Amino acid sequence: MQSPSQPNNKRQGIPLRPIDIERGERLLYRLTEFGRLLWEAGINVGPRQMIDLAETLSMIDITKQDDFYYALKCSLLTRHEQEALFDQMYQYFWFVRDNPNQQKKPGGQVKNKQRELRLPPSERKRLAEHMNAKEQRKDIHRDTRQSERKPNTTARDRDEDDNDLGDPQSGAYSAIERLRQKDFENYSWEEVQEAKRLMAEMRWNLGMRPTRRKAPTQRGSYPDMRRIVRRNLKYGSEMIELTWREIKLKPRPLVIICDISGSMSLYSRLLLHFIHTISNGLMNVEAFVFGTRLTRVTRQLKRRDVDEAVRDVSKSVQDWSGGTRIGDALHYFNHHWAKRVLGRGAVVLIISDGWDRGEADTLKAEMDRLQHSCHRLIWLNPLLGSPDYRPLTIGMKAALPYIDSFLPAHNLDSLIDLGNILTNIDDSRPQRDAYNRRKAVEAWTNRKP
């Protein structure tokens, strides 16, 4: 009787084509995605199970659907009571995920009751988005599948393919790089959905601030007299063992004030997704939006589903895509909310393009007061991503002298840079005297492309 490994041994002397190598690598990538889906659904799948699966596939004919299904089931499933859940995930991932119009069981029967699929929240959202755009392909999927659509090539072309197939996901990475550098206002619907997914994967950390409390530590700057006395009682009160304390550190609070007026309409929703990511990734975050008036949206953005959170924000805000009065909005914030949310060395993010219909003197006074009330005042301007941008509007001219950091917020790369800046905020404050303010304004006004 012939062993299962003999067919593979016969092919050992035959060199594989580049397309075969790429398909094999892509199959391993798909299997890793399937293992991650099972893990999110509650099935214990780890590196050991995936290695066993990779070794098992070399012993079977993967072109036979039943053999492939039972190989996955035997390698990845360890508990009999999770068999029904495994079947649902298998049906969804290999038959429904890329073709939502047909849902097949492993045996080949068509199943149309989509509500019976108990998917993780991330996969439910992905399936809904995929069904809304089932006739279109994302750039990432196009790049990773481009080699399969090529016609028969010459030997020279195959050699070039060999040089380009070092990484099966290189096309996906290049598509992500293009997406990260692309301006938000130029996004298509599919790119917006991909940007939301990338934002959800971002991890945020704020700089630490020293508190007035001290915590026990092995090596510190302050002696812990109570512990010293207790530990040395056994030595007749001789000071033999010393213990120490160090100042306790906590993350700084973050306050976000976002412009949702008409001039920001191309950026508002994506920036709200960005604020939702920060609000759910950090502990102490307060969020406000403004047009002609200020509205607190911290409670709405605490919802786990980002689309529902943005929908609640749009319902609670009365001046969405209206006019802009930055000075009046900051006046209301300084007199009604500053004492509540600006304690303990808070960092303030203002997201606006600087177009303002209010009084410039009011904006100057409120920016000055806000800057002195917070540890760091950062202004994010989506228009700053353009190389020929100049802060020439009245609102931007009035606010610029009181800004500690003036940064762009027009693409994903700019948001990643912001995350690095927030992480590196230390206990020192920037210089806020009149000379440095005037110097900063001159630098931005005379900016060269």
Which residues are CB-contacts of 298 (< 8 A; sequence separation ≥ 6)? 279, 285, 286, 287, 288
Average pLDDT over residues 137-151: 42
446 vs 339, more confident: 339
Mean pLDDT of the chain: 76
- Mean pLDDT for 73-98 is 81
306 or 412, which is more confident? Answer: 412
Compute the half-sphere exposure of residue 37: CA atoms within 13 Å on the CB side of its CA.
23
Q: Which pLDDT tens digit goes with each residue over 181-191? A: 888 888 887 88
Question: How does pLDDT run across 182-225, given as a tens digit for each residue?
Answer: 888 888 878 888 888 888 888 777 777 778 888 888 888 888 88
- For residues 175 and 241, the model is more confident at 241
pLDDT > 70? residue 151: no
For 25, the token pair is 């690598």
User: Minimum mean pLDDT among 52-56, 78-82, 130-134, 332-336: which range?
Assistant: 130-134
Q: What local confidence, expressed as pLDDT, does residue 314 receive?
A: 82
Which residue bears the tokens 């976002």? 258
Dump pLDDT digits (tens) for 380-390.
998 888 888 88
**pLDDT exceeds cutoff 60 at 172:** no
- 4-34 pLDDT tens trace: 444 444 444 566 677 767 777 788 888 888 8
Taking only the tens place, the pLDDT of each residue in 342-374 is: 888 889 999 998 888 888 899 999 999 999 999
Q: How many CB atoms lie within 10 A of CB 341?
A: 21
**CA–CA separation, 372 and 230 (whole Å):** 45
Confidence of residue 447 (pLDDT cuts 50, 70, 90): low
Q: In the prediction, which pLDDT does 171 show?
A: 52
Residues recorded for the chain? 449
Choose the weakest-confidence range: 6-10, 389-393, 403-407, 413-417.
Answer: 6-10
Q: Any residues with CB less than 8 A from the CB of 440 and at least 6 apart, and which? A: 400, 401, 403, 406
**Tokens representing 387?**
């190389």
pLDDT above 60 for 413:
yes
Integer Cα distance of 219 and 241 in angstroms: 13
Q: What percentage of residues in the chain have a pLDDT greater than 70?
A: 77
Higher pLDDT, 233 or 431: 233
Integer Cα distance of 60 and 68 in angstroms: 8
What DSSP string runs through 341-353? HSTTT-EEEEE--
pLDDT score recorded for residue 110: 37
Cα angle vertex 229, ends 226, 235, to 5°? 160
Q: What are the structural domains, with CATH classification, of the chain?
A: 1-135 (no CATH), 208-251 (no CATH), 254-445 (3.40.50.410)
